[in-house]
A and B are shown apart, each in its own frame.
Chain A
Amino acid sequence: MKTYVGFAALALGLAMGAPALADNPATLRLVIAQHQFSPKELPVPGGVRVRLLIRNDDALPAEFESYDLSREIVVPGHSQVTVYIGPLKPGRYNFFNDFDHAVQGWVVVGGSAK
């Protein structure tokens, strides 16, 4: 049974293993309106974790998705969600609306090519 105790403790520890990184992160805002992200290019500081508030002003839900940022989250219509991203190296990180792939945007860190 000690194995299971260790297993549970390990998983919990891994999940909570970076709380210091989440202390007082900068908060940035991204808006979805009229089926577009605003801003389309979101400047983000490098090397730190960032709290990103995504507000959907449209009536239809959207799905903020990014393979570059390892995030996928549904944003219901007229609602707001929170995700954390980073720490990121300088570069450009693509994100898109998975319900409408024509709607794209970029997180820009430090201005250099990824």
Chain B
Amino acid sequence: MHTLGARPVPRAAKKAGTSPMTDLRRPLSGILWLVVMLAGLGLALAPRASRADDFIVYSPYVTKGQSEVEVRGYQQRDGDPSLNGARAYEISVGHAVTDWWRPELYLGEYERQPGQAQQRVGNEFENTFQLTPQGEFWADAGFLLSYERNVQPGVPDAVEFGPLFEKQSGRFDHRLNMIWEKQVGGGANNKYEFRAAYSLSYKITAAIAPGFEAYVRPSDNSYQIGPVLSGELASARGSELEYRVGVVFGVNAAAPNQTFLARLEYEFF
């Protein structure tokens, strides 16, 4: 059964920014690759439990000096009253301090469970590391590492991490994320919850890029897929307003029938 209990809401959105890269990243890249592989292979063996929704497909790209302000959220619709009407949104700011590291702070994460009032979930400190330069390998890779501080009673803090991939092919753009989440602190369980997300988009113009997204959350027994429209409006001075709207449909009975997604992000130097 899909669960939307007192758990954190979706984490950070990483736009399809682009990235500089220097040779200094190469030694770091090797070490982090090893960490990624060990984490992925080892932790995937652990059991998982129910988890909150998370509707974002991160990009691994980091652009030094670029700042961002982002708002995103979702709302669910389902015949099951325990799922219908659930929604969440969050607000974050980020700044890429190097060409391989972008920290991002979620100033507020909020959610509303069906039949309940909206409540604040907590804050999150998220880090995106770009591991490989664009085009050096078959796909470009990054790594996500974040710490989530929960303010709801009885909900432990959490750490999440995992590899991020992106592949550009003409006007097509593919992204794949594999993320593990582990509760930490008082009351934490010993489980690693896994989720994966995939997106494919086709850039007709910079402002119009239709595609689809798919989300896999085995611990929720939730599998969803649906169309998404995204795009960006750029100014000659290098600032960009990016949007993303869509709806993903439950593939299995336990997933919500529809989840409506929206994201708005402003990037600037």
| Chain A interface (Cβ < 8 Å from any Cβ of B) | 1, 4-5, 7-9, 11-12, 14-19, 22, 49, 60-63, 67-68, 70-77, 79-85, 98-100
Interface of A is mostly: mixed
Task: Given the known inter-chain contacts A19-B137, A22-B137, A99-B235, please indicate yes or no for A82 contacting B22, CB distance below 8 A.
Answer: yes
CA distance A17 to B132 in the complex (A): 13
Task: Given the known inter-chain contacts A11-B165, A99-B238, please indicate yes or no for A76 contacting B138, CB distance below 8 A.
Answer: no
- Beta-carbon contact of A8 and B236 below 8 Å: no
Q: Closest residue to A77 on the B side, CB-wise?
A: B269
Closest Cβ of chain B: how far from A84's Cβ, in Å? Answer: 3
CA distance A79 to B96 in the complex (A): 14
- Beta-carbon contact of B269 and A71 below 8 Å: no
B3 within 8 A of A: no
Task: Given the known inter-chain contacts A5-B40, A12-B37, A16-B137, please indicate yes or no for A72 contacting B168, CB distance below 8 A.
Answer: yes
B139 within 8 A of A: yes
With beta carbons under 8 angstroms apart, the residue of B17, B44, B99 that contacts A1 is: B44
Kindly list the 10 A-B residue pairs having the minimum CB-CB distance in the complex, ordered from nearest. A61-B238, A81-B20, A84-B135, A8-B40, A73-B18, A4-B44, A15-B139, A70-B168, A82-B21, A83-B134
Closest Cβ of chain A: how far from B43's Cβ, in Å? Answer: 9
- Beta-carbon contact of B133 and A82 below 8 Å: yes
With beta carbons under 8 angstroms apart, the residue of B163, B168, B170, B238 that contacts A74 is: B238
Q: Closest residue to B40 on the A side, CB-wise?
A: A8
Kindly supply a per-residue 1/0 record for chain B positions 20-55, scoring 1 wherever the CB is within 8 Å of any chain A CB and 0 otherwise.
Answer: 111000000000010011001100111000000000
- Beta-carbon contact of A63 and B234 below 8 Å: yes
Q: Closest residue to A100 on the B side, CB-wise?
A: B236
22 A-B contacts (beta carbon < 8 Å): A1-B46, A4-B44, A4-B194, A5-B41, A7-B196, A8-B163, A11-B139, A15-B132, A15-B137, A18-B137, A22-B137, A60-B236, A61-B237, A61-B238, A63-B238, A67-B203, A72-B18, A72-B168, A74-B63, A77-B269, A81-B19, A83-B133
CA distance A2 to B132 in the complex (A): 27
- Beta-carbon contact of A76 and B18 below 8 Å: no
- Beta-carbon contact of A17 and B137 below 8 Å: yes
For window 223-246 of B, CB contacts with A under 8 Å fall at 234-238
- Beta-carbon contact of B20 and A75 below 8 Å: yes
With A5-B45, A81-B20 given, can you name 11 additional A-B contacts, CB distance below 8 Å? A9-B37, A15-B138, A15-B165, A16-B141, A18-B137, A18-B138, A19-B137, A22-B137, A67-B170, A70-B169, A99-B236
For window 147-197 of B, CB contacts with A under 8 Å fall at 163, 165, 168-171, 176, 178, 194, 196
CA distance A62 to B234 in the complex (A): 11
CA distance A77 to B157 in the complex (A): 39
For A73, the chain B residues whose CB sits under 8 A away are 18-20, 61, 63, 134
- Beta-carbon contact of A7 and B65 below 8 Å: no
- Beta-carbon contact of B135 and A76 below 8 Å: no
Closest Cβ of chain A: how far from B202's Cβ, in Å? Answer: 11
Closest Cβ of chain A: how far from B95's Cβ, in Å? Answer: 12
Task: Given the known inter-chain contacts A16-B33, A79-B65, A81-B21, please indicate yes or no for A11 contacting B176, CB distance below 8 A.
Answer: yes
Kindly supply a per-residue 1/0 record for chain B positions 70-90, scoring 1 wherever the CB is within 8 Å of any chain A CB and 0 otherwise.
Answer: 000000000000000000000
CA distance A78 to B196 in the complex (A): 37
CA distance A62 to B237 in the complex (A): 8
CA distance A75 to B132 in the complex (A): 16
- Beta-carbon contact of A7 and B178 below 8 Å: yes
